[in-house]
Structure 1
Amino acid sequence: MHRYRSHTCARLRKADVGTSVRLSGWVHRVRDHGGLLFIDLRDHYGITQIVADPDSPCFAVAETVRGEWVIRVDGEVKARTEETVNANLPTGEVEVFARDMEVLSAAKELPLPVFGEPDYPEDIRLKYRFLDLRRETLHKNIVQRTKIIADMRTRMAEAGFTEFSTPILTASSPEGARDFLVPSRLHEGKFYALPQAPQIYKQLIMVSGFDRYFQIAPCFRDEDPRADRLPGEFYQLDLEMSFVEQDEVFSTMEPVMRGVFEAFAGGKPVTQEFRRIPYDEAMRKYGSDKPDLRNPIEMQDVSEHFRGSGFKVFANILANDDKAEVWAIPAKTGGSRAFCDRMNSWAQGEGQPGLGYIFWRKEGESLGGAGPIAKNIGEERTEAIRNQLGLEDGDACFFAAGDPKKFASFAGAARTRAGEELDLVDRDRFELCWIVDFPFYEWDEEEKRLDFGHNPFTMPQGGLEALSGADPLSIKAWQYDLVCNGFEIASGGIRNHLPEVMVKAFENVGFDRATVEDRFGGLYRAFQYGAPPHGGMAAGIDRIVMLLVGAKNLREVTMFPMNQQAQDLLMSAPSEATPQQLRELSLRVVAPKKD
C-alpha cells in the first residue's frame, strides 16, 4: 500500500464498504461523543469521517490529535446508518473505522480558525495565508480560478489564437499608472520597468507577422488598491489580432467570454447578444462607463420642464450656464417620503447639498406629485415629468442639475443606490455589454493641458485628418470596454499602426517627434517597416473570477495578495535592501524630509 494514502478524502463511496483503505490529511475537527471519537479528515479533494472507539488499537493516538494536525489513518470502510448519513458530503454515506493512526505533523495553537470560516481580521488572514487558504470557500475559489483560466486557454486555442510569452523586464510605458522600477546592476543609474501590460509587445508581435496572439499575462501597476483592483500584480487574458476591425474583435471574443461565463455561472442566465452602448450615451443614461444593466433605472434629461419654472434653484442654473442640464433619476416603487429622505441624507453624506425629489401618490381618484419641487413647479410640469419617465402611483424621481460633466458620476451613484435600496437589481444573472466610442482625448484640469482619454496607442476615428483639423475633445477613439454587472472586465481597441498618426497623436498632448522616437522607439521603428492593421483587448482575470464565484473582494480569489497598504504580510515585503545590495546597484536611500 502507498506510504500515505490509497484514496483521497473525497473518493470513498458506498461501493467501497468492507475495503481496507489508507487516508492522509488535516484534522478538520474532532467530536467526542461519550468516548466515541469522530474525526473529519480533510485534504485538497474533500472530507471523510473517521471513527475511533475505545476498542480501536489507535484510540490513544486519536485522543491526542487536534485541529489542523496532519495524520495518516488506516481503517475499514463502513456504511453509515440511515439516520447518520450526511447528504452534504460526497462521502456522506460512509465512514472509516480506524485501526492505525500516525501523526505526520502536529500543529501549534491556530492564529485563526479554519473550521467554520468565521470573519477574522484581514491582517491575520494575510499573514497566515497558508492557513486561510485551507478554508473551504477560499480554497474552492482558487481551484475555480485555475479551471476558469484553463477554460479560457481552451477557448482561445479553438478560436485560432496562439499563446506567446512577453518580457517581464522592459521599458516604462504610459498605461495610466505608476511603474514598478527595477534598477540595473550592469547599467549604472538605469532602470527596467515591470510591464503595466504587454501592450507594445503584443503590437510588435502583430508587426512580426503572427496573426492571433494571446497569453495569461501578469501585469504590474504601482497604484492604490480598492475592492476590484489589487495593488502590485494582477493577471489578464491578453490578446491581439491582425487585419481586423472592431466588429471582428467583437464577433470573435463574444463567444469566448459568453462561453466562459456560461460554463461557470452555476446556471445563472448570461447575456446572449452584447449591447453596444456609446460612451456618451452610457454617461447620460447611467452616469457611468461601466453600468450595471441589471439595474433597470435609466436617467433622462428633463431640463425643459424646469426652464423658467418656479423652482428657482434649477431654473437659475439653466439660465446662467449654457452647459447646464437637469437629469432625472426615476425610481420605481420609491414613492415614500421616508425613502426620499434616506436618499437625501445619503447625498449629503456624499458631500452634496442634497438630492431633490418628487414622489407620486393617489389621493382619492387623483394622482399627484408630492414634495417641495412638485409644489414649486406646479401640477402641469410635474405631470409632464411623470409622463416622460413613465412613472405611476408609488414611484419617485430624483434630480441632479448643473454641468453634466461635473455631476454625472454622482447621478450614476444615486442611480445605483436607488436600484439597490429598492431591490430593483436582478442579482441572479450576468449582464454583459460593450461600451464604445470613448473620447480620444480629455482635458486635465489640474495640469491645464490635453491628455489621452484612454489608451494612447488606439487609432483615432478619422485618423490623421481628425488629429490635424478637428477639435481634439470631439475626437472619438476606436476604443471599447467590456462591462459585466457594473464592473469593467475587459478593455481594448483598434490600434494605430501608422507612424505619422502615432507622432501626431502624441504631439497633441505635448510630446515632440524626438520624444516619441526615444520613448517608444521599438514600436515607432516597427511601424515604418510594414505594420498590419490590428486590434485586440485584455480581460481582467481576477475580476471575472470574482464575479463568477460571487466574491466581494479580489483578495478572495487571489492566492497570495497584498493588503490595502501594498504589503505582503506573509513574506514581509517590501523590505529594506542590504548595504551590499545597494552598493551593487549604485543606489542610496534618501529618507524624505519631515515637515
Structure 2
Amino acid sequence: MDQQAKSLEVQSVELTFPSGWRRSHDCGSLRLDHSGQNVVLMGWVQRRRDHGGLIFVDLRDREGITQIVFDPQADAAAHEAAHALRSEYVIAVQGTVRQRPEGMANPKLKTGDIEVLVYALKILNVAKTPPFLIEDDTEVSESVRLKYRYLDLRRPVMQAHLRLRHRAAFLTRNYFAERGFIEVETPVLTKSTPEGARDYLVPSRVNPGKFYALPQSPQLFKQLLMVAGLERYMQIVKCFRDEDLRADRQPEFTQLDLEMSFIEEEDIYELIEGWLSILFKDLLGLELSTPFLRLSYRDALNRYGTDRPDLRFGLELTDLTDLVKGCDFRVFREAVERGGLVKSLRLADGARLSRKDLDDLVHYAQEFGAKGMAWAKLQPDGWQSPIAKFLDPSLRDAIVDRMQGRPGDILFFMADHPTVVHETLGNVRTRLAQQLDLIPKGQYRFCWITHFPLLEWNPDEKRYVAVHHPFTSPLEEDMDFLESDPLKVRSRAYDLVLNGTEIGGGSIRIHREDVQKKIFGVLGIGDQEARDKFGFLLDALQYGAPPHGGIAFGFDRLIMLMTGATSIRDVIAFPKTQKATCLMSGAPSEPDVNQLLELCIRVDKEGR
C-alpha cells in the first residue's frame, strides 16, 4: 500500500488522545536502570525502519530520542498499525524498557543503551511529508525554514537555542532581583521622540490624526523611574526600530534594560561583569576573567581602527604619521599635510599572500572609501613593494623598526582622513583574521569602551547630533568646550564589546534641567521643540532628580554569541526577514478598508 493510501487509512481511525494514558517519561530520560518497567511515551516519529519482521521507530520529543520496537510476536495489532507510521506523525505508545541487543547500542543518544518494546500504539495525529528533514544538519534555505518556522523549531539545535535563552532570562531576573532591582513594565504605546532610528507609528482611533510610537527603548521612562525614587530598575523588554536590517538586527528585538540611582561608572562595570560571569559559568561552563579590559574610545580607534574591537587576535595598527611627514612619497606627504594620518598593519608571515590575494584586499579596502592601500613584503634582502622606490632606505628601516617587522612579514599602509584610515584598516584587520583562520575557537574576549565623544557633526543636517543619545552626561572636565569646541567634549558613555560585537551600551545620565537644556541647545533643539518633545522629562528634572545611570543589552545578540549562531534569527522563535516580513504569517499585510476608515487614514501607494 502506498503512502497516500496509508495516510487515508490512518485518517479513518479515531485520532484522539487515548483515555487513561498518561505519559510516564520523556524521550530522553530512559536508561538501563529502567529495564523491565512499563512506560508510556508520546512524541513525533523521527524515522521508521522496517526490517521485515521488526519495525523500528525513533520517537522524538523536546528531551531527546528513544528507539521503540514493534514485534509481531509481542503484539500483532501494534505491529500492523506501525506500518502506517510516517515522519512527524504524533503517536503514543505503551511498552516495556529493555536493553538493546549486544553490539546494537547507540553512544550518540542519551537513551542509546535501551529500547522500548511496544505492546500498544495510538496515532494521535497524522502529518504531511515535511518540506525538509527535522534534523540539525538538514540543508534547506532560510526562507523555507522561516515559512515553516513551527517545523524548523522542532529541530534539536533550535530548541537548544530557545532553552538556553530561557535559562539566561531566568538567571538574569534572579541575579538582579537579589541585588535590589525591581522589574517594572514601561509603556509600549508612547510618544514619538525622533532622535535616532525611525519610529514605528501606531494610529489612534479615539484621537483621529494622532499617533503613538512603539518604543525604541524605555530610556525616558526608566529615567523617570529614578526620579520616582525606585533607585534600581530592570526589565527584559521588547523594543522596536524601523531601520535597515542585518544579520544581528530585527525590527522588534529584546533588551535587558537597567537603571540605577546614586552610582558611578565603576558600579555599572562591576555589576555587569558579575552578571555575565554567572551566565557564562552556568550556561557554558566557562570562567570569565574579570575585571574586563577597558579602552577609551580614542585608544580603541588608534589600536584597532574601530570602537568594537575583536581582541581574540593581535594585528594592532601602528601610527607612522610623524615618521613619514615630509617624505618623498607624495601619497603619504599630502595626506599628512591635509591633517590626515598614515597608519600601518603588520601581518606576521604574511609574505605568503599571493599577488591576487593582495589585489583582492586592495579592492576590499576601497569599499570603505579608501583610494587604495599600499603594501610591502619584507624579504631578507629588503622590501618587495610598489612604493619602495619612493622611500629612502633609512625611512624604510625606521618603519620596519617601529612595526617590529621581520623577514616574511607583510606591511599594509593607509594614508587618508583619520575616519577613512581607521575604518579601512579596522575592516582589513578583521578580514585577514577570518581568511587566515587567526581567530581562536571557543574564546570570549570582553572589553569596555569608554569616554566616547558626546557629539558628532552631521553634514546633511548641518548640526551637531548626539553620538549615543541627548540624555548622556558630558565629562565634567570637558564642560567648558560645549560652546567653544563641542567636538572635544567627551561623554560618560560606555559600551561593552564581545568578540568584535557591541552587546550593550549605556551612560551616566544628565540629572539637572539646566544641563539638559544646554545640551539641547548645542544640538540645535530650541526651547519650544524641546518642550514639545521632552517637556515631561524637563519637568521631572525640576523635582529632585537623583544622579543616575544605566545600560541596555541586546539580549538576542548576546544569546546569538553564546550559542555560536550566525544570526539573531536563529535565537528568536518567530523572527522577521531582512525585509522586515514574516514569511510564516504573511505580516505585514494590507488592512481592511473599514479599519482605515475608522482610523481616518487613506493609503497612497504611489507616494504622492
Q: TM-score, normalised by structure 1?
A: 0.95
Q: Deviation per CA, 1:79-132, whole angstroms, max 9, x where unpaired?
A: 013411111211111100111111101001212221354221222111110001
Which residue among 188, 197, 219 is the counterpart of 1:177? 197
In structure 2, relative to structure 1, the CA distance for the partners of 1:265 and 1:329 (3 Å cut) is: farther
In structure 2, relative to structure 1, the CA distance for the partners of 1:250 and 1:456 (3 Å cut) is: same
Give the deviation of 1:428 after TM superposition.
2.3
Q: Which residue of 1 aligns with 2:183?
A: 163
Indicate conservation of the 8 Å contact 2:36/2:96, yes or no: yes
Give the deviation of 1:592 after TM superposition.
2.3
Give the deviation of 1:158 after TM superposition.
2.2
For structure 2, which runs of at least 5 residues remain unmatched after alignment?
Answer: 1-18
Give the deviation of 1:258 after TM superposition.
2.6
**Which amino acid counterpart does residue 278 of structure 1 have in structure 2?**
S
State how far apart, in whole Å, the 2-side matches of 1:578 and 1:24 are. 42
Indicate conservation of the 8 Å contact 1:328/1:400, yes or no: yes
**Which amino acid counterpart does residue 41 of structure 1 have in structure 2?**
L
2:40 corresponds to 1:22: yes
In structure 2, relative to structure 1, the CA distance for the partners of 1:327 and 1:463 (3 Å cut) is: closer
Q: TM-score, normalised by structure 2?
A: 0.93
2:70 corresponds to 1:52: yes
Q: Which residue of 2 aligns with 1:406?
A: 420
**Which amino acid counterpart does residue 258 of structure 1 have in structure 2?**
S
2:501 corresponds to 1:482: no
2:473 corresponds to 1:454: no
Indicate conservation of the 8 Å contact 2:292/2:446, yes or no: yes
Matched ranges for 1:460-471 at <5 A:
460-462=474-476, 465-466=479-480, 468-471=482-485
State how far apart, in whole Å, the 2-side matches of 1:436 and 1:26 are. 51
State how far apart, in whole Å, the 1-side matches of 2:136 and 2:455 are. 51
2:120 corresponds to 1:88: no
Q: Which residue of 2 aligns with 1:250?
A: 269
**Which amino acid counterpart does residue 235 of structure 1 have in structure 2?**
T
Which residue among 552, 557, 574 is the counterpart of 2:566? 552
How large is the RMSD of aligned CA atoms in angstroms? 1.9
State how far apart, in whole Å, the 2-side matches of 1:94 and 1:36 are. 16
Matched ranges for 1:88-487 at <5 A:
88-230=108-250, 232-267=251-286, 270-319=288-337, 321=338, 323-338=339-354, 339-348=357-366, 352-363=370-381, 368-462=382-476, 465-466=479-480, 468-487=482-501
Q: Deviation per CA, 1:435-481, whole angstroms, max 9, x where unpaired?
A: 11111110112222211111111111128943653411111111110
Comparing 51-60 with 218-227, which one deviates more in the overlay? 51-60
**Which amino acid counterpart does residue 256 of structure 2 have in structure 1?**
L
Indicate conservation of the 8 Å contact 2:351/2:409, yes or no: yes
Give the deviation of 1:310 after TM superposition.
3.5
State how far apart, in whole Å, the 2-side matches of 1:134 and 1:468 are. 56
State how far apart, in whole Å, the 2-side matches of 1:330 and 1:264 are. 37
Indicate conservation of the 8 Å contact 1:332/1:394, yes or no: yes
State how far apart, in whole Å, the 2-side matches of 1:84 and 1:312 are. 74
In structure 2, relative to structure 1, the CA distance for the partners of 1:351 and 1:525 (3 Å cut) is: closer
Give the deviation of 1:341 after TM superposition.
4.2
In structure 2, relative to structure 1, the CA distance for the partners of 1:300 and 1:468 (3 Å cut) is: closer
In structure 2, relative to structure 1, the CA distance for the partners of 1:542 and 1:2 (3 Å cut) is: farther
Comparing 84-93 with 107-116, which one deviates more in the overlay? 107-116
DSSP 3-state at the match of 1:292? coil
For structure 1, which runs of at least 5 residues remain unmatched after alignment?
Answer: none
DSSP 3-state at the match of 1:297? coil
Give the deviation of 1:348 after TM superposition.
4.9
State how far apart, in whole Å, the 2-side matches of 1:416 and 1:396 are. 16
**Which amino acid counterpart does residue 119 of structure 1 have in structure 2?**
E
Q: Which residue of 2 aligns with 1:527?
A: 541
Q: Deviation per CA, 1:4-59, whole angstroms, max 9, x where unpaired?
A: 41111111111110111110000111122344221110111111111113333211
Indicate conservation of the 8 Å contact 1:71/1:101, yes or no: yes
- Identity level (%): 42
In structure 2, relative to structure 1, the CA distance for the partners of 1:92 and 1:316 (3 Å cut) is: same
State how far apart, in whole Å, the 2-side matches of 1:554 and 1:468 are. 39
DSSP 3-state at the match of 1:369? strand
Indicate conservation of the 8 Å contact 2:375/2:412, yes or no: yes
Give the deviation of 1:577 after TM superposition.
1.1
Q: Deviation per CA, 1:247-298, whole angstroms, max 9, x where unpaired?
A: 222122221123222332344x634221111111111211111111112111
DSSP 3-state at the match of 1:326? strand
Q: Which residue of 2 aligns with 1:37?
A: 55
DSSP 3-state at the match of 2:602? coil
Give the deviation of 1:307 after TM superposition.
2.4
Number of aligned residue pairs:
586
**Which amino acid counterpart does residue 478 of structure 1 have in structure 2?**
R
Give the deviation of 1:505 after TM superposition.
0.6
In structure 2, relative to structure 1, the CA distance for the partners of 1:335 and 1:159 (3 Å cut) is: farther
In structure 2, relative to structure 1, the CA distance for the partners of 1:71 and 1:92 (3 Å cut) is: same
State how far apart, in whole Å, the 2-side matches of 1:361 and 1:326 are. 22
In structure 2, relative to structure 1, the CA distance for the partners of 1:517 and 1:584 (3 Å cut) is: same
**Which amino acid counterpart does residue 40 of structure 1 have in structure 2?**
D
Indicate conservation of the 8 Å contact 1:294/1:427, yes or no: no
**Which amino acid counterpart does residue 207 of structure 1 have in structure 2?**
V
**Which amino acid counterpart does residue 248 of structure 1 have in structure 2?**
D
Q: Deviation per CA, 1:296-316, whole angstroms, max 9, x where unpaired?
A: 111011123322334322223
Q: Which residue of 2 aligns with 1:492?
A: 506
Indicate conservation of the 8 Å contact 1:183/1:191, yes or no: yes
Q: Which residue of 2 aligns with 1:9?
A: 27
Q: Deviation per CA, 1:134-181, whole angstroms, max 9, x where unpaired?
A: 011111111111111111111112222121111111111345111111
In structure 2, relative to structure 1, the CA distance for the partners of 1:431 and 1:308 (3 Å cut) is: same
Q: Deviation per CA, 1:354-379, whole angstroms, max 9, x where unpaired?
A: 3211121225xxxx332122343133
Indicate conservation of the 8 Å contact 1:271/1:430, yes or no: no
In structure 2, relative to structure 1, the CA distance for the partners of 1:379 and 1:38 (3 Å cut) is: farther
State how far apart, in whole Å, the 2-side matches of 1:560 and 1:593 are. 31
State how far apart, in whole Å, the 1-side matches of 2:170 and 2:221 are. 23
In structure 2, relative to structure 1, the CA distance for the partners of 1:350 and 1:201 (3 Å cut) is: closer
DSSP 3-state at the match of 1:84? coil
State how far apart, in whole Å, the 2-side matches of 1:341 and 1:67 are. 51
Indicate conservation of the 8 Å contact 1:334/1:340, yes or no: no
In structure 2, relative to structure 1, the CA distance for the partners of 1:526 and 1:276 (3 Å cut) is: same
Indicate conservation of the 8 Å contact 2:248/2:567, yes or no: yes
State how far apart, in whole Å, the 1-side matches of 2:70 and 2:38 are. 15
**Which amino acid counterpart does residue 281 of structure 2 have in structure 1?**
E
**Which amino acid counterpart does residue 334 of structure 1 have in structure 2?**
G
In structure 2, relative to structure 1, the CA distance for the partners of 1:314 and 1:463 (3 Å cut) is: closer
